[in-house]
Amino acid sequence: MSIQSRWLGVLTLFLVVAISYVDRINVSVLITDHEFLKHAGIDRLDRAAQGFLATCFMLGYGISSIVLTPFCSSVLGIRRSLSCSLVIWGAVTVSIPFIEGYLALVVSRVLLGVAEGPLFSLAYAYIKSNFNNLESGTPNAFVGMGAGIGLAMGYPAIGYMLHAYGWDVSFYVLSVVNVFIGLPLVLMFVRMPRGGGADKPMAVNWLSLYGVIRDGIIESFKVRSVFIILALSSLSLSYIWGSSNWLPVYFKEVRGFSLLEMGWLASLPLYAVVLASICSGVVIDRINRKNLPVIFLCTSLIVAAFVFMAITVVDRYWALCALVMANFFWGLQGPAIPAIVQQFTTDQNMASTFGVVNGAASLVAAFMPAMMGAMIMLFANFEPWVETPGMSDAAAGFYGGFFLLIGSQVLASVFWASLWFRDGSLHKRNAFSASKRLA
């Protein structure tokens, strides 16, 4: 496959990831709208119920990533799986304005999560098959950058549609984008190298499908340092999913920005993620991989420090700058986790392994939006916290919610240190064994 063909596939996957992230955060913006909350049957102050909408999406996403990824990679293939996903995304999205009530909205979010579950695993499996390990950092960064672009463009786009046309228009627009832009691009450009077999129909004994899924999961847990990687991925997703879910409400209700301001201001920290992903992808391909953990140990602590600054500083623009810097240093970690998984796996078990890692991590991270919502409600009644000049009374609750983000990054630094020491010890043992054989 030519270089141009490989990169057209990467750019298509970048666009599909971006579309998926706009789908994900659509509801995060809409919960600031009273008409949407009325349609969904949610009280304006019920932060736990609002946060659970993101949680139930991630629950469906995580289970699907673990269970469906082996099926998608072994039976359907990458292109067919992505095509089916885009059709389902479009169908679920367009149906939401026609269904009312909280339960119906929860079910739709779960279904959307199930359809999106295998996406990243299939994307990184495509990269694994088309790029060698020493050049995978940059394409990984491009695909991961789609998440930041989707979030960054999604906030102002959804905010504008909400302000100008009403909450339901965003669902119609997203459905059209999924089916009439994403689907044709996948069919044209996402192709595996010859002999890969991923895009050929595969005869399968449906009775043995359980065995295919089981074997893929079992092999995934044999990968080196998989539990540390799983912990790092869980904490990473917890940060971005928790922060991106509550940023619009935080800017609007705590920092006092208008609806239109909230849209583009909430996108600025995500553009920082995009820039960081590009920088990180280039750097990862040019440094010794065994030095990655110590670098990201430091960036995790820097993220925690900037989030603390963001919720304690009085000036709202300084708070915005702090969140931008926090997301930049978080974004540097983005391409590292799939690069580490690609380094430790083969072409055959890459999709299943990342599916297990991403799926299990998503199940853990799924509870972050709801936990933050619960903490926001709990801390809202703490009087000493609300006496900060220049901020609304809602600031007290958000202190509690955002401290969960700080804790996730402090804990991530511990696991980066564990990976550093573990791999360092492994390199020393391998070098000692090699020297004994030579002797």
**pLDDT tens, N- to C-terminus, the chain (439 residues):** 676 788 999 999 999 999 998 988 888 888 888 899 999 899 887 888 888 888 888 888 888 888 888 778 777 888 899 999 999 999 999 999 998 899 999 999 999 999 998 888 888 888 888 887 667 777 887 887 888 788 788 888 898 898 889 899 999 999 999 999 999 999 999 887 765 544 554 555 555 666 666 777 777 777 778 888 889 989 998 998 888 888 878 887 788 787 667 767 777 887 888 888 888 877 776 776 677 788 889 999 999 999 999 888 888 889 889 999 999 999 888 777 877 887 777 766 777 787 788 888 888 888 888 888 888 888 776 654 444 444 555 677 788 888 999 999 999 999 999 988 876 544 444 443 434 444 4
- The domain spans of the chain are 3-193+213-426
- From the number of C-beta atoms within 10 Å of its C-beta (0-12, 13-18, 19+), residue 425 rates as exposed
At residue 14, the pLDDT reads 93
Nearest by Cα to 413 from 287, 228, 281, 243: 228
- From the number of C-beta atoms within 10 Å of its C-beta (0-12, 13-18, 19+), residue 147 rates as buried
At residue 124, the pLDDT reads 83
At residue 199, the pLDDT reads 52
Q: Which helix (H) or strand (E) holds 126?
A: helix 119-130
At residue 302, the pLDDT reads 96
At residue 259, the pLDDT reads 67
Give backbone dihedrals phi and psi of 108, rounded to 5 degrees, phi first.
-65, -35
At residue 301, the pLDDT reads 95
Tell me the pTM.
0.72
Question: Looking at residue 165, what DSSP letter applies?
Answer: T
Q: Which helix (H) or strand (E) holds 279?
A: helix 259-284
Calculate the CA dihedral of residues 400, 401, 405, 408 and round it to 10 degrees: 80
CA distance 276 to 236: 14
Q: Is 133:284 a contact under the CB 8 Å cutoff?
A: no
At residue 1, the pLDDT reads 61
Tokens coding 54: 């993101």
Q: Is 338:289 a contact under the CB 8 Å cutoff?
A: no
CA distance 32 to 45: 10
How far is CA 393 from each of CA 56, 299, 396, rounded to the nearest angstrom?
Answer: 29, 32, 6
End-to-end CA distance of the chain: 44
| Fold of the domain spanning 3-193+213-426 | Growth Hormone; Chain: A; (1.20.1250)
